[in-house]
């Protein structure tokens, strides 16, 4: 496994991030534990979750599964850089979502972090991420709440997810005025197909020293050999959902076919190449992979050591051209 600094911090993290969103809804607890054990064996030390993960009727279940894994001991918690998120509504099952049961008010942040710590079975969170921007709560209030949590030792760093470039700037300028560290990472949708983050989000993250953590690196399975799996009748995600919707578009289908043809000729796995491509991109710390089974994790780990030649990178750029930087992409 290869490691890097998380943004401008001194924190060392693996260049692959284990996403846990499938733990609970799609992967049983025992299998989830086995995947986390395998990740540690492979040197993956960066685990990502969220308070709302676990399914619509079981929010928080994923954090509980991670917590029961930590409880097995063996230094599991000490070896892991643990990231979770706050924003979504977390009212108890069957109860009304009251106004202060979600978003980023100081009250909800205080309530949410204590609930996550209990579910996770730990006394601190390494990276506490804002799952979405809260347009109704002033940044001074948010940073005051975060500063208190840091002082209490409940969290170490704060990060964002799904922020626009100007949200990153706004957040970190407000933090700087307070003498706070501010955001150290941004978790955004970014892959070969979806490259809008290159216009402003990634430049803002680089400018403010945030590590970029791409989610959906295979674009919902589209970049994992979707057409081949469709032809062979394999893969749960090719018959419905985002991948199927994309393949129904003739222009997108032609792109994906060109991508698969290119990699078949080079004897390379599409999913591994999609991950390896992200690791070549400026500012990227590591993509999030959310394996449902052990084999998917093994494939992702192989991608970390996959060095893509320049001619292949150029061919990928022709198939999936980027948006270009801002403002040059839409002005002189």
DSSP assignment of 264-305 equals HHTT--HHHHHHHHHHTSTTB---EE--SSHHHHHHHHHHHT
156: helix, coil or strand? strand
Q: Quick one: DSSP state of residue 27?
A: B
What is the per-residue pLDDT for 55?
A: 87
Please tell me the predicted confidence (pLDDT) of residue 90.
86
Least confident span in 31-45, 52-66, 116-130, 229-243: 229-243
- Max distance between CA atoms of the chain, in angstroms, equals 58
pLDDT digits (tens, 9 = 90+) for 96-140: 888 898 999 999 999 999 999 999 999 999 999 999 999 999 999
Residue-wise pLDDT tens digits, 267-298? 999 999 999 999 999 999 999 999 999 999 99
Bridge partners of residue 211, in order along the sequence: 185
pLDDT of residue 41: 97
Q: What is the mean pLDDT of residues 232-242?
A: 66
Mean pLDDT computed over 44-57 = 94
Give pLDDT, residue 95: 75
* pTM score, whole prediction: 0.95
**Residue 215: predicted pLDDT:** 98
Number of H helices, E strands in the chain: 13, 10
Beta bridge partners of 129: 85, 159
Cα 167 from chain centre: 18
Instruction: Name the band, by pLDDT with cuts 50, 70 and 90, for residue 93.
Output: low
Q: What percent of the chain has pLDDT over 90?
A: 89
Closest to 187 measured CA to CA, from 142, 133, 117, 145: 133
Q: Which residues are catalytic?
A: 53
Give me the percent of the chain exceeding a pLDDT of 70: 96
């Amino acid at each position: 496994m290869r490691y890097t600094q998380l943004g401008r911090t001194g924190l060392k993290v693996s260049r692959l991030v284990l996403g846990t969103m499938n733990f609970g809804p799609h992967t049983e607890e025992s299998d989830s534990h086995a995947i986390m054990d395998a990740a540690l064996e492979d040197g993956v030390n960066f685990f990502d979750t969220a308070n709302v993960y676990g399914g619509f009727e079981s929010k928080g279940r994923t954090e509980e599964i991670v917590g029961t894994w930590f409880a097995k001991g063996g230094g599991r918690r000490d070896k892991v850089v643990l990231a979770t998120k706050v924003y979504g509504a977390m009212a108890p099952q069957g109860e009304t979502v009251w106004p202060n049961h979600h978003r980023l008010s100081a009250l909800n942040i205080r309530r949410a972090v204590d609930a996550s710590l209990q579910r996770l079975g730990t006394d601190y969170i390494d990276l506490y991420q804002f799952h979405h921007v809260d347009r109704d709560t002033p940044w001074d209030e948010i940073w005051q709440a975060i500063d208190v949590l840091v002082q209490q030792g409940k969290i170490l760093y704060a990060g964002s997810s799904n922020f626009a470039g100007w949200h990153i700037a706004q957040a970190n300028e407000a933090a700087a005025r307070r003498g706070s560290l501010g955001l150290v990472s941004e978790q955004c949708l970014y892959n070969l197909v979806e490259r809008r983050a290159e216009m402003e989000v990634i430049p803002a993250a680089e400018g403010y020293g945030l590590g970029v953590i791409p989610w959906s690196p295979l674009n919902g399975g589209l970049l994992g050999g979707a057409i081949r799996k469709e032809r062979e009748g394999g893969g749960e995600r090719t018959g419905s959902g985002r991948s199927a919707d994309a393949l129904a578009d003739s222009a997108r289908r032609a792109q994906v076919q060109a991508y698969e043809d290119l990699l078949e000729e080079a004897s390379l796995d599409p999913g591994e190449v999609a991950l390896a491509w992200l690791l070549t991109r400026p500012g990227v710390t590591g993509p999030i992979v959310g394996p449902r089974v052990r084999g998917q994790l093994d494939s992702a780990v192989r991608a970390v050591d996959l060095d893509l030649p320049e001619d292949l990178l150029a061919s990928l750029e022709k198939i999936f051209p980027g948006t270009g930087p801002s403002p040059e992409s839409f002005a002189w």
